[in-house]
Amino acid sequence: MGFAISRLASMILLCQVFAGLALAGGLGIAPSEVHFLNVLRGGYAEVNVTISNPNEVATTVTMVAKGENGDYLTFFSMDQNYIEKPTEVILPSGEVAVAYMKTPGLLLPVSNITIPAKSKADVRIVARPPADVQVGIYRGVITFYSNPHLNESVEGQYGTSIAVALEVPTVIELTGAQNLNFQVTGFNAKNAEMGSPIEFFVSGTNNGNVRATPQVKIEIFDRDMAEIVKVATFNGTEYLPTTKGTDRFEISSENMAEGQYWANITVTLGGKIIANQLLTFDLLEPGTMSRMGELVRIESKVWVNAGEITRVEAIFKNTGELSTSAKFKGEVLLDGEIVEVIESEEMTVPQETTMNLTSYFTPKTPGRYIVNGKVYYSKKVTYPKEVIINVREAEGGGVWSFLSNPTVVLVLLIAVLIAILSRMQ
């Protein structure tokens, strides 16, 4: 009897060791602490964190915020496009210029995110404290719970990863004092062809705790800077506190001859000049500059449920010398048959820029789906690419789903050991 009890105690201790391991590895969070400093009451602040999944299988990470600041925090997935919204501006000459404001597309709050095997994902944590809260420091913690898809290895085998839970401390420092502080971080002017718009770029970061909308004035001079050729003034993007971005502005090259030009770009905020830069660019004969692009890859989840709206990302890189409009068009195949045709919205992709072209489809039945397609841009087309998506029955709590939970397996293991030792007595 004593020997049996001793063995039972040893086995339970071993199970506890395994349980401890389940909370010790298999997930990485960076940074290890999240701080929101100098946040205005009723204001806005954001911090991005990177979640790493080193496992051989995908994992779903659930995020829960608790503590004094838990109700102020919201999570957003970062795998969404930015949309360029065109705004027409009338120049003093009567010509129309266009400013493209690069703003986030539809960002929906999430409580969990699925990360493929051996991959990383970014999550945006947004703090929105109420306006009537007291000034002070509010602390809390975010717990990241992972649920590895143990029965979803690509080869169809069962994985060996274990569940983990990691905690990240959070601090929100609330103030009642407004701080308007916008920093311009970059300017750029692109060469253009005669008849095509001239593109200018201004990048910046809102380091304050109130919204900031910079104004941008662009003066174009001839080669000798003896004469102003064109002048345009734009309102830039409204930047929320702690955010950064790049605005793209267009000015028509109509009535401008081939040759070198200068652009004096001045950025003001609240009536004060905060940055100024002199740049040069060339206006070239039509057909001189190349238009080239590459479909780098197509991405999607490895496993989805039947009936689940499935996101497909075509990663397009503009390798040419001009901005280009781009659209992904693809086919969804099951058993060699086309079951759906998909396409993305048409997006403007600046030169030397990579952009996600997003489309969706909903698989109706389980199976091994193949999505292949191309990107159409500037009357050209890329080489095709494809991605495989495995579709399973809609989740219904089957036996394998039940047994894939490490806690359940641990409890069953202890129960079996107790039964065996009872027979040994």
pLDDT tens by residue, 257-303: 999 999 999 999 999 999 999 999 999 999 888 889 999 999 998 88
139 vs 399, residue with greater confidence:
139
Which secondary structure element, helix H or strand E, spans residue 166, and what is its range?
Answer: strand 165-175
Which domains are delineated in the chain? Answer: 22-79+106-169 (2.60.40.10), 182-284 (2.60.40.10), 293-392 (2.60.40.10)
Q: Is 110 exposed, middle or buried (0-12, 13-18, 19+ CB in 10 A)?
A: middle
135 CB burial (10 A radius; 0-12, 13-18, 19+):
exposed
Mean pLDDT of the chain: 84
Q: Is the pLDDT of residue 41 over 50?
A: yes
- The C-alpha atoms of residue 42 and residue 44 are separated, in whole angstroms, by 7
> Is 351:321 a contact under the CB 8 Å cutoff?
yes
pTM score, whole prediction: 0.69
Per-residue pLDDT band at 6 (split at 50, 70, 90): low
CB-count burial class (<10 Å; 0-12, 13-18, 19+) for 96? middle
